[in-house]
Structure 1
Amino acid sequence: MTITIYHNPLCGTSRNTLAMIRQSGVEPEIVPYLETPPTRETLRDLIARSGLTVREAMRTKEPVYAELGLDDPALSDAALIEAMLAHPILINRPFVVTEKGVRQCRPSELVLDILPNPDIGPFTKEDGEVVIDKDGKRLV
């Protein structure tokens, strides 16, 4: 099975998601989307298949979001997509694609819903939050 993660190594959520994928026994295809942004078609597809709106797929806390006036509700989806393509930091992360679907994995444990083997054993996030305990019980 192929798993693809649109990854930002500076993001703790993205690193935790990648760690869970690897702990499931799969080495994913890693797309460093800040360096290699998705195409317009791929970005639209990721957003649509994840069930999100374009605005929900954006990082609103980035300074460039305010600088560009992207909080204007009159902006079209096409305009928001163009902003994300021009400034990939605006793409909320990480997006993960598996045969079971597409998720924007915020929080990171959402990846478990689309992994071929979600029984990854105990897992603790970088910040110490336990996702799966030693007995295999999902806590979050």
Structure 2
Amino acid sequence: MSQNIKIYHNPACGTSRNTLALIRNSGQEPEIIEYLQNPPSKAELIDLIQQSGLSVRAVIRQNVEPFETLKLAQSDWSDEQLLDFMLKYPILINRPFVRTALGTRLCRPSELVLDLLSAPQLKPFSKEDGEVVIDEHLQRVK
């Protein structure tokens, strides 16, 4: 297991599964944190957001049930309140976050993880939907 790669993973999410597969396609095995079962601490969540260069609001998933019920689209929620909601309802945390020695990123789309991997891809790779990411010459398509 490579301790220098962490993925905050949801196995039910295709983007998260594709991201994990791209990491493994580089011959590395990340530390997998299934964040719905093992949510990050508040300090970890703040660090992930800050290191990724995103705003708190930018990492909230909007197409999940608590978002509408809690009326999180309203702009008057503070970052602190939004963080508390994400900690109480981890499904609100967008995914997958990946952390490596090269940085931290919210890997949407999944091929963004390639910018964080120091090892090359070992074989051609297509996403679950068939979209080619690494071609037969082991070159990144997009």
TM-score, normalising length: structure 2:
0.95
In the TM superposition, 1:1-140 aligns within 5 A as 1=2, 2-140=4-142
Does the Cα contact within 8 Å between 2:125 and 2:132 map onto a contact in 1?
yes
In 1: Cα distance, 2:123 partner to 2:111 partner: 13
Contact 2:125 2:134 (8 Å CA) reproduced: yes
Per-residue CA deviation, residues 3-28 of structure 1 (Å, 9 max, x unaligned), is 00000000000000000101111111
Taking structure 1 as the reference length, the TM-score comes to 0.97
Are 1:21 and 1:28, in contact at CA under 8 Å, matched by a contact in 2?
yes
The Cα of 1:91 is off from its aligned counterpart by 0.3
User: Is contact 1:20-1:120 (8 Å) kept?
Assistant: no
**C-alpha contact 2:25 2:121 (8 A) present in aligned 1:** no
Unaligned 5+ segments in structure 2 are none
The offset of 1:118, in angstroms, is: 3.7
* Long gaps (5+) in structure 1: none
1:121 deviation in Å? 3.2
Paired residue type of 1:127:
D
| Secondary structure of the structure 1 residue equivalent to 2:7 | strand
Q: Give aligned pairs, total.
A: 140
